[in-house]
Amino acid sequence: GEDVEQSLFLSVREGDSSVINCTYTDSSSTYLYWYKQEPGAGLQLLTYIFSNMDMKQDQRLTVLLNKKDKHLSLRIADTQTGDSAIYFCAESPTTSGTYKYIFGTGTRLKVLA
Amino acid sequence: EPEVTQTPSHQVTQMGQEVILRCVPISNHLYFYWYRQILGQKVEFLVSFYNNEISEKSEIFDDQFSVERPDGSNFTLKIRSTKLEDSAMYFCASKDRGAYEQYFGPGTRLTVT
3-state helix, strand, coil in chain A (%, to 5): 5, 55, 40
Compute chain A's Rg from CA coordinates.
14
Supply the pLDDT for residue B80. Answer: 96
- A105 or A1: which carries more pLDDT confidence? A105
Supply the pLDDT for residue B60. Answer: 94
Distance (Å, rounded) from C-alpha A96 to C-alpha A52? Answer: 19
Residue in B6, B10, B59, B100 to test binding to A, most A beta-carbons within 10 Å: B100
Supply the pLDDT for residue B100. Answer: 84
Distance (Å, rounded) from C-alpha A91 to C-alpha B31? Answer: 17
Which chain B residues are closer than 8 Å to A104 by Cβ?
A: 42
Supply the pLDDT for residue A1. Answer: 57
Q: How far is A69 from chain B (nearest CA, A)?
A: 23
Establish if B7 touches chain A: CB-CB under 8 angstroms: no
Residue in A100, A105, A108 to test binding to B, most B beta-carbons within 10 Å: A100
In the chain, the amino acid numbered B66 is S
Distance (Å, rounded) from C-alpha B55 to C-alpha A110? Answer: 38
Average pLDDT over residues A85-91: 94
Measured at the CA of B56, the angle between CA B54 and CA B58, to 5 degrees, comes to 120
Supply the pLDDT for residue A107. Answer: 96
Give A2's pLDDT tier (boundaries 50, 70, 90).
low
Cis peptide bond prior to B70, omega within 30° of 0: no
Give A62's pLDDT tier (boundaries 50, 70, 90).
very high
